[in-house]
Amino acid sequence: MKASHRLKALRRATIGLLACWAVALMIFAVRLPAETPLKSPDRIFKPLRLDKTVPLAIPAGVTYIPLQLRDDVNLYSLTVSATDARLLPNAAQVTFAIIADGKLIAQKSLHLADPDWYCVFRADPKKGAMLVVESKVATSFRLTLLPLKLSGVSGVIVEAEPNDDWQHAQPVPLGATVIGTADDRPYFIAPDMDEGKALQTGVDWFKVEQPDEASKLVHFNLTSLTAMCLPTSLSTPSTRKANWWLTPKATTPFQVPTKRKSVRPCG
Protein backbone atom coordinates (compact mmCIF):
# COMPACT_ATOMS: atom_id res chain seq x y z
CA MET A 1 0.00 0.00 0.00
CA LYS A 2 2.78 2.41 0.93
CA ALA A 3 4.57 1.69 -2.37
CA SER A 4 1.32 2.32 -4.24
CA HIS A 5 0.81 5.67 -2.49
CA ARG A 6 4.39 6.67 -3.21
CA LEU A 7 3.98 5.78 -6.87
CA LYS A 8 0.80 7.86 -7.11
CA ALA A 9 2.50 10.79 -5.39
CA LEU A 10 5.42 10.54 -7.80
CA ARG A 11 3.03 10.51 -10.76
CA ARG A 12 1.21 13.59 -9.44
CA ALA A 13 4.51 15.45 -8.93
CA THR A 14 5.68 14.54 -12.44
CA ILE A 15 2.39 15.64 -14.00
CA GLY A 16 2.48 18.89 -12.02
CA LEU A 17 6.05 19.63 -13.12
CA LEU A 18 5.19 18.95 -16.77
CA ALA A 19 2.13 21.19 -16.46
CA CYS A 20 4.26 24.05 -15.07
CA TRP A 21 6.72 23.75 -17.94
CA ALA A 22 3.83 23.63 -20.43
CA VAL A 23 2.32 26.81 -18.98
CA ALA A 24 5.71 28.55 -19.05
CA LEU A 25 6.27 27.60 -22.69
CA MET A 26 2.74 28.75 -23.59
CA ILE A 27 3.42 32.15 -21.99
CA PHE A 28 6.63 32.57 -23.98
CA ALA A 29 4.88 31.34 -27.11
CA VAL A 30 2.38 34.18 -26.74
CA ARG A 31 5.09 36.79 -26.18
CA LEU A 32 7.38 35.44 -28.88
CA PRO A 33 5.48 35.12 -32.18
CA ALA A 34 6.56 32.74 -34.91
CA GLU A 35 8.49 35.42 -36.82
CA THR A 36 10.94 35.78 -33.92
CA PRO A 37 13.94 33.56 -34.86
CA LEU A 38 14.65 31.98 -31.48
CA LYS A 39 15.74 28.50 -30.57
CA SER A 40 13.78 26.40 -28.11
CA PRO A 41 15.10 26.76 -24.55
CA ASP A 42 17.11 24.08 -22.81
CA ARG A 43 16.44 25.82 -19.51
CA ILE A 44 14.14 28.57 -18.21
CA PHE A 45 15.35 30.55 -15.20
CA LYS A 46 13.16 32.40 -12.75
CA PRO A 47 12.61 36.11 -13.57
CA LEU A 48 15.55 38.47 -13.08
CA ARG A 49 14.52 40.86 -10.32
CA LEU A 50 14.89 44.62 -10.45
CA ASP A 51 17.53 46.51 -8.46
CA LYS A 52 19.50 43.34 -7.77
CA THR A 53 22.91 42.15 -8.96
CA VAL A 54 22.46 38.42 -9.44
CA PRO A 55 25.24 35.91 -10.17
CA LEU A 56 24.05 33.20 -12.52
CA ALA A 57 25.69 29.99 -13.65
CA ILE A 58 24.91 29.81 -17.36
CA PRO A 59 24.89 26.26 -18.75
CA ALA A 60 25.77 25.31 -22.30
CA GLY A 61 22.76 25.57 -24.59
CA VAL A 62 19.88 28.08 -24.81
CA THR A 63 18.64 29.71 -21.60
CA TYR A 64 15.56 31.93 -21.21
CA ILE A 65 15.62 34.52 -18.39
CA PRO A 66 12.38 36.57 -18.03
CA LEU A 67 12.95 40.20 -17.00
CA GLN A 68 10.90 41.67 -14.18
CA LEU A 69 9.29 44.95 -15.30
CA ARG A 70 7.38 47.63 -13.39
CA ASP A 71 3.94 48.76 -14.49
CA ASP A 72 4.91 52.45 -14.35
CA VAL A 73 8.32 52.21 -16.09
CA ASN A 74 9.19 51.46 -19.72
CA LEU A 75 12.91 52.38 -19.69
CA TYR A 76 15.50 49.98 -18.24
CA SER A 77 19.21 49.30 -18.17
CA LEU A 78 20.79 45.85 -18.22
CA THR A 79 24.39 45.16 -17.22
CA VAL A 80 25.98 41.79 -17.97
CA SER A 81 29.52 41.04 -16.82
CA ALA A 82 31.54 37.86 -16.61
CA THR A 83 32.16 36.64 -13.06
CA ASP A 84 35.72 35.78 -14.13
CA ALA A 85 36.68 36.98 -17.61
CA ARG A 86 39.68 34.65 -17.62
CA LEU A 87 37.31 31.69 -17.86
CA LEU A 88 35.69 32.96 -21.07
CA PRO A 89 36.84 31.49 -24.39
CA ASN A 90 38.72 33.56 -26.98
CA ALA A 91 35.92 32.94 -29.48
CA ALA A 92 32.49 34.59 -29.31
CA GLN A 93 30.67 31.57 -27.91
CA VAL A 94 28.29 33.32 -25.48
CA THR A 95 25.55 35.56 -26.92
CA PHE A 96 23.05 37.61 -24.90
CA ALA A 97 19.90 38.92 -26.60
CA ILE A 98 17.07 41.13 -25.29
CA ILE A 99 13.58 40.30 -26.54
CA ALA A 100 10.83 42.89 -26.01
CA ASP A 101 7.34 42.88 -27.48
CA GLY A 102 8.22 39.56 -29.12
CA LYS A 103 11.07 41.14 -31.12
CA LEU A 104 14.85 41.05 -30.92
CA ILE A 105 15.93 44.60 -29.99
CA ALA A 106 19.58 44.19 -28.93
CA GLN A 107 22.25 41.52 -28.63
CA LYS A 108 25.97 41.05 -28.08
CA SER A 109 28.46 38.18 -28.12
CA LEU A 110 30.90 38.16 -25.20
CA HIS A 111 34.36 36.62 -24.99
CA LEU A 112 37.72 36.95 -23.26
CA ALA A 113 38.56 40.38 -24.76
CA ASP A 114 35.02 41.80 -24.41
CA PRO A 115 33.46 40.26 -21.27
CA ASP A 116 30.65 42.70 -20.48
CA TRP A 117 27.65 44.48 -21.96
CA TYR A 118 25.64 47.55 -20.92
CA CYS A 119 22.36 48.25 -22.68
CA VAL A 120 19.51 50.72 -22.17
CA PHE A 121 16.23 49.58 -23.69
CA ARG A 122 12.52 50.33 -23.80
CA ALA A 123 9.95 47.67 -23.00
CA ASP A 124 6.20 47.63 -22.49
CA PRO A 125 5.48 46.03 -19.09
CA LYS A 126 2.18 44.64 -20.44
CA LYS A 127 4.00 42.74 -23.21
CA GLY A 128 7.01 41.64 -21.20
CA ALA A 129 10.70 41.25 -21.98
CA MET A 130 13.20 38.44 -21.77
CA LEU A 131 16.93 37.77 -21.91
CA VAL A 132 17.98 34.86 -24.13
CA VAL A 133 21.45 33.41 -23.60
CA GLU A 134 22.97 31.06 -26.15
CA SER A 135 26.26 29.58 -25.01
CA LYS A 136 28.51 26.84 -26.30
CA VAL A 137 30.24 26.54 -22.94
CA ALA A 138 29.16 26.57 -19.30
CA THR A 139 30.14 29.84 -17.63
CA SER A 140 28.90 32.39 -15.08
CA PHE A 141 27.86 36.06 -15.24
CA ARG A 142 26.58 38.83 -13.00
CA LEU A 143 23.37 40.48 -14.19
CA THR A 144 21.85 43.78 -13.02
CA LEU A 145 18.47 45.08 -14.20
CA LEU A 146 17.52 48.65 -13.22
CA PRO A 147 14.46 50.81 -13.96
CA LEU A 148 15.36 54.27 -15.28
CA LYS A 149 13.35 57.38 -14.51
CA LEU A 150 14.17 60.92 -15.63
CA SER A 151 11.60 62.67 -13.49
CA GLY A 152 12.78 66.18 -12.66
CA VAL A 153 15.49 66.12 -15.37
CA SER A 154 14.51 68.36 -18.28
CA GLY A 155 16.23 68.58 -21.65
CA VAL A 156 17.96 65.19 -21.37
CA ILE A 157 17.26 62.19 -23.62
CA VAL A 158 18.72 58.76 -22.87
CA GLU A 159 19.54 56.73 -25.97
CA ALA A 160 17.66 53.43 -25.81
CA GLU A 161 17.08 50.38 -27.96
CA PRO A 162 15.43 49.69 -30.30
CA ASN A 163 16.86 52.45 -32.52
CA ASP A 164 19.22 50.60 -34.85
CA ASP A 165 17.45 51.59 -38.09
CA TRP A 166 15.67 54.63 -39.47
CA GLN A 167 12.25 53.04 -38.97
CA HIS A 168 12.90 53.06 -35.20
CA ALA A 169 14.77 56.38 -35.05
CA GLN A 170 14.52 57.88 -31.57
CA PRO A 171 12.81 61.30 -31.38
CA VAL A 172 14.99 64.18 -30.16
CA PRO A 173 13.44 67.60 -29.50
CA LEU A 174 15.46 70.68 -30.40
CA GLY A 175 17.59 71.89 -27.52
CA ALA A 176 17.86 68.48 -25.87
CA THR A 177 21.05 66.68 -24.87
CA VAL A 178 21.25 63.00 -25.80
CA ILE A 179 23.40 60.77 -23.61
CA GLY A 180 23.96 57.19 -24.63
CA THR A 181 26.18 54.25 -25.38
CA ALA A 182 26.60 51.73 -28.16
CA ASP A 183 28.10 48.86 -26.23
CA ASP A 184 26.50 46.36 -28.60
CA ARG A 185 29.39 47.25 -30.92
CA PRO A 186 32.30 44.85 -30.22
CA TYR A 187 35.13 46.38 -28.22
CA PHE A 188 37.34 43.71 -29.78
CA ILE A 189 36.35 41.47 -32.70
CA ALA A 190 36.80 37.81 -31.79
CA PRO A 191 38.57 35.49 -34.26
CA ASP A 192 35.37 33.62 -35.15
CA MET A 193 33.27 36.77 -35.69
CA ASP A 194 32.39 38.16 -39.12
CA GLU A 195 34.34 41.42 -39.21
CA GLY A 196 31.99 43.07 -41.69
CA LYS A 197 28.89 42.34 -39.58
CA ALA A 198 30.70 43.29 -36.39
CA LEU A 199 31.60 46.72 -37.76
CA GLN A 200 27.98 47.35 -38.77
CA THR A 201 26.71 47.05 -35.21
CA GLY A 202 26.48 49.93 -32.77
CA VAL A 203 24.73 52.29 -35.21
CA ASP A 204 21.93 54.25 -33.53
CA TRP A 205 19.36 56.40 -35.31
CA PHE A 206 17.70 59.60 -34.05
CA LYS A 207 15.19 61.98 -35.60
CA VAL A 208 14.88 65.71 -34.99
CA GLU A 209 11.43 67.18 -35.45
CA GLN A 210 10.99 70.85 -36.38
CA PRO A 211 7.41 71.82 -35.42
CA ASP A 212 7.73 75.58 -36.04
CA GLU A 213 6.39 77.45 -39.05
CA ALA A 214 9.75 79.07 -39.85
CA SER A 215 13.00 77.41 -40.91
CA LYS A 216 15.77 77.07 -38.31
CA LEU A 217 19.52 76.72 -38.55
CA VAL A 218 20.47 73.90 -36.16
CA HIS A 219 23.94 73.20 -34.83
CA PHE A 220 24.85 69.61 -33.89
CA ASN A 221 27.78 68.87 -31.61
CA LEU A 222 28.99 65.34 -30.78
CA THR A 223 31.27 64.77 -27.82
CA SER A 224 32.99 61.45 -27.15
CA LEU A 225 33.15 60.39 -23.51
CA THR A 226 36.07 58.05 -24.20
CA ALA A 227 39.22 59.14 -25.98
CA MET A 228 39.62 55.72 -27.64
CA CYS A 229 36.28 55.83 -29.49
CA LEU A 230 35.82 59.19 -31.18
CA PRO A 231 32.63 59.80 -33.17
CA THR A 232 33.24 59.06 -36.84
CA SER A 233 30.25 60.52 -38.63
CA LEU A 234 27.03 62.42 -38.44
CA SER A 235 24.88 60.89 -41.15
CA THR A 236 27.43 60.42 -43.95
CA PRO A 237 30.02 63.21 -43.56
CA SER A 238 33.05 62.43 -41.37
CA THR A 239 32.65 65.27 -38.92
CA ARG A 240 31.84 65.92 -35.29
CA LYS A 241 30.04 69.21 -35.91
CA ALA A 242 27.41 70.12 -38.45
CA ASN A 243 25.01 72.96 -39.29
CA TRP A 244 21.70 72.01 -40.92
CA TRP A 245 18.72 74.01 -42.08
CA LEU A 246 15.47 72.41 -40.90
CA THR A 247 12.45 73.38 -42.94
CA PRO A 248 9.09 74.00 -41.24
CA LYS A 249 7.52 70.93 -39.65
CA ALA A 250 10.31 68.69 -40.93
CA THR A 251 11.66 65.46 -39.53
CA THR A 252 15.36 64.81 -40.13
CA PRO A 253 16.80 61.38 -39.26
CA PHE A 254 20.51 60.90 -38.64
CA GLN A 255 22.71 58.10 -37.40
CA VAL A 256 25.59 58.01 -34.93
CA PRO A 257 27.95 55.02 -35.30
CA THR A 258 30.19 55.30 -32.25
CA LYS A 259 30.99 53.42 -29.06
CA ARG A 260 30.17 56.26 -26.66
CA LYS A 261 28.53 59.51 -27.59
CA SER A 262 26.74 62.60 -26.37
CA VAL A 263 24.62 64.54 -28.87
CA ARG A 264 23.24 68.03 -28.34
CA PRO A 265 21.03 69.49 -31.08
CA CYS A 266 20.55 73.19 -30.28
CA GLY A 267 17.73 75.17 -31.80
| pLDDT above 90: percentage of residues in the chain | 36
Give the contacts of 169 (CB within 8 A, at least 6 positions apart): 163, 205, 206, 207, 253
> Taking 50 as the threshold, does the pLDDT of residue 30 lie above it?
no
Q: Quick one: pLDDT at residue 163? A: 92
pTM score, two decimals? 0.74
Helical (H) or strand (E) element with 198: helix 195-200
- Tell me how far the alpha carbon of residue 186 is from its chain's centroid: 14
